[in-house]
């Protein structure tokens, strides 16, 4: 080993080793930027396994490869992203599933990647890693544990048979259609089955001096942008854009707030520069600024308007990206996922950071952007179209 681990990493490594030896399963829930990758590598290097498969997000592959090199790992590691998992075959002594909330935690239907892992490597020991394993509902625990042969959840045929015991099923009516809702899980009962396998590290334990602080900002839209919003909400049609479903309408309204609109497969610039001007007025265009956007069209506008600021995706760059050197992180349009929101907020966290962490979120008062902020940032729920529609029943 060419590096020196922190005490927290050493202690965590020993606990992971103990869990694998006793249960063939370790769940690591630790904050972003806390050094959990090196902690897991150290644990693996002290176990008897020789051939290891690491499954992670594409953006995090280079980080794993760098840490394996930094550690001078001796064992045989295959690092693959979720999207390429179907290309992997063969036997492994241990499987590490990184950011497992990303591709195998959805419910009620079985995620394709979860089914693939279960079919190929059900009884192989596993280490599951995530900072946000069940951000919206404890029901998100089922599929990650269902693919682990040593966990009791693996005995259930599918989510629905498990839910009879662990979920209070309800019905929602959306646009007159009855939908089964499995999000109200029996959290205490589920966590009783999770805790024996869980290593949980809090942000306070990491020693970070500064924790992320959310700072909301309201951007005033100009008359033309307001007119475009009113037209789309009233007519459900704008130029070549047809909002024939609730989510299309919501996405269209949010895009217009941000200065763009996706028609068919192409983003069009609506000319609105309210968000651009607000950012330049408050933070300027410097290398200390990073701007995250949900919409590709908005990102293209920012790439033209800003010469020095770092422009990123609030979706693909929410995880596995180091931004501790950035002074001002600005979220110009939010992803609808609360898990990605929590991951994104920690991009600036570092034990070496010397200034407070402020995450600036831009929105329009009364707009879709504000509804997304309230759902995802304040209530910690994934945003759904009905959340905005319910706020404005007369407009729908």
Q: Are residues 170 and 251 in the same domain?
A: no
Residue 140 — pLDDT band, cuts 50, 70, 90? Answer: very high
Q: Are residues 198 and 217 in the same domain?
A: no
pLDDT for the residue numbered 394: 58
Q: Are residues 198 and 247 in the same domain?
A: no
Q: Are residues 158 and 227 in the same domain?
A: no
What domain range is 103 assigned to? 7-202
CATH number of the domain that 172 lies in? 3.40.50.10810
CATH number of the domain that 284 lies in? 3.40.50.300
Pairing assessment for the beta strands 310-313 and 328-331 based on DSSP bridges: unpaired
Tens digit of pLDDT for each residue in 295-308?
Answer: 999 999 999 999 99
Alpha-carbon distance 210 to 226, whole Å? 38
Which positions ≥6 away from 44 have C-beta within 8 Å? 52, 73, 75, 94, 96, 127
**If you average pLDDT over residues 374-393, what whole number do you get?**
82
Residue 396 — pLDDT band, cuts 50, 70, 90? Answer: low
Q: Are residues 64 and 187 in the same domain?
A: yes
Q: Quick check: bond before 108 cis, omega within 30?
A: yes
* Domain final residue pick, 173, 202, 231: 202
The burial class, CB within 10 Å (0-12 / 13-18 / 19+), for 314 is buried
pLDDT for the residue numbered 350: 52
Is the pTM higher than 0.85? Answer: no
**If you average pLDDT over residues 150-159, what whole number do you get?**
98
Asked whether the predicted pLDDT for residue 41 surpasses 60, the reply is yes
More confident residue, 158 or 312: 158
**Domains in the chain: how many in total?**
2
Q: Are residues 236 and 150 in the same domain?
A: no
* Domain final residue pick, 202, 236, 270: 202
Poorest-confidence range of 36-45, 49-58, 202-211, 301-310?
202-211
Alpha-carbon distance 211 to 356, whole Å? 7
Residue 321 — pLDDT band, cuts 50, 70, 90? Answer: low
**If you average pLDDT over residues 61-89, what whole number do you get?**
95
pLDDT for the residue numbered 337: 86
pLDDT for the residue numbered 205: 80
| H helices present in 72-206, as ranges | 112-121, 142-146, 159-166, 187-194, 203-206
Tens digit of pLDDT for each residue in 271-284?
Answer: 999 999 999 999 99
Q: Coil, helix or strand for 154? A: helix
Alpha-carbon distance 329 to 356, whole Å? 12
Q: Are residues 193 and 331 in the same domain?
A: no
Please, what sign has the CA dihedral across residues 159, 164, 166, 170? Answer: positive
Tens digit of pLDDT for each residue in 241-277?
Answer: 999 999 999 999 999 999 999 999 999 999 999 999 9
Alpha-carbon distance 114 to 104, whole Å? 5
% of the chain with per-residue pLDDT over 90: 74
Asked whether the predicted pLDDT for residue 88 surpasses 80, the reply is yes
Residue 1 domain flag: no
**If you average pLDDT over residues 92-108, what whole number do you get?**
95
Q: Coil, helix or strand for 81? A: strand
Q: Are residues 216 and 184 in the same domain?
A: no
pLDDT for the residue numbered 135: 84
* Domain final residue pick, 141, 167, 202: 202
Taking the CA atoms of the chain, what radius of gyration do you get in angstroms?
22
Residue 313 — pLDDT band, cuts 50, 70, 90? Answer: confident
Mean pLDDT, the chain, integer = 91
Q: Are residues 86 and 222 in the same domain?
A: no
């Amino acid at each position: 080993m060419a590096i020196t681990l922190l005490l927290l990493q050493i202690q965590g490594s020993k606990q992971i080793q103990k869990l694998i030896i006793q249960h063939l399963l370790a769940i690591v829930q630790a904050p972003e930027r806390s050094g959990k990758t090196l902690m897991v590598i150290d644990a693996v290097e002290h176990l008897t396994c020789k051939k290891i498969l690491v499954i992670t997000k594409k953006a995090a592959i280079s980080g794993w490869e760098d840490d394996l090199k930094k550690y001078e790992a001796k064992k045989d590691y295959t690092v693959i992203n979720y999207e390429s998992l179907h290309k992997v075959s063969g036997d492994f002594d241990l499987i590490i599933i990184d950011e497992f909330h990303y591709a195998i935690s959805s419910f009620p239907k079985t995620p394709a990647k979860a089914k693939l892992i279960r079919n190929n490597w059900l009884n192989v020991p596993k280490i599951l890693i995530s900072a946000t394993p069940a951000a919206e509902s404890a029901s998100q625990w089922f599929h990650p544990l269902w693919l682990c042969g040593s966990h009791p959840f693996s005995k259930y045929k599918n989510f629905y048979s498990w839910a009879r015991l662990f979920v209070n099923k309800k019905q929602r009516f959306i646009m007159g259609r009855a939908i089964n809702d499995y999000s109200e899980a029996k959290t205490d009962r589920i966590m009783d089955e999770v805790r024996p396998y869980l290593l949980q590290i809090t942000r306070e334990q990491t020693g970070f001096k500064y924790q992320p602080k959310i700072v909301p900002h309201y951007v005033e839209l100009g008359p033309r942008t307001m007119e475009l919003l009113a037209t789309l909400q009233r007519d459900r049609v704008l130029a070549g854009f047809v909002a024939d479903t609730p989510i299309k309408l919501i996405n269209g309204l949010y895009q217009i707030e941000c200065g763009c609109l996706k028609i068919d497969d192409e983003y069009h610039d609506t000319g609105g520069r309210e968000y651009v001007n607000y950012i330049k007025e408050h933070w300027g265009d410097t290398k200390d600024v990073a701007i995250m956007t949900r919409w590709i069209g908005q990102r293209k506008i920012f790439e033209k308007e800003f010469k020095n600021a770092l422009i990123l995706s609030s979706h693909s760059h929410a995880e596995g990206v180091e931004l501790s050197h950035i002074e001002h992180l600005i979220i110009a349009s939010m992803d609808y996922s609360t898990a990605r929101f929590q991951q994104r907020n920690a991009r600036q966290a570092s034990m070496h950071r010397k200034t407070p962490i402020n995450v600036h979120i831009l929105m329009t008062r009364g707009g879709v952007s504000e509804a997304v902020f309230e759902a995802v940032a304040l209530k910690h729920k994934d945003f759904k179209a009905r959340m905005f529609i319910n706020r404005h029943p007369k407009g729908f």
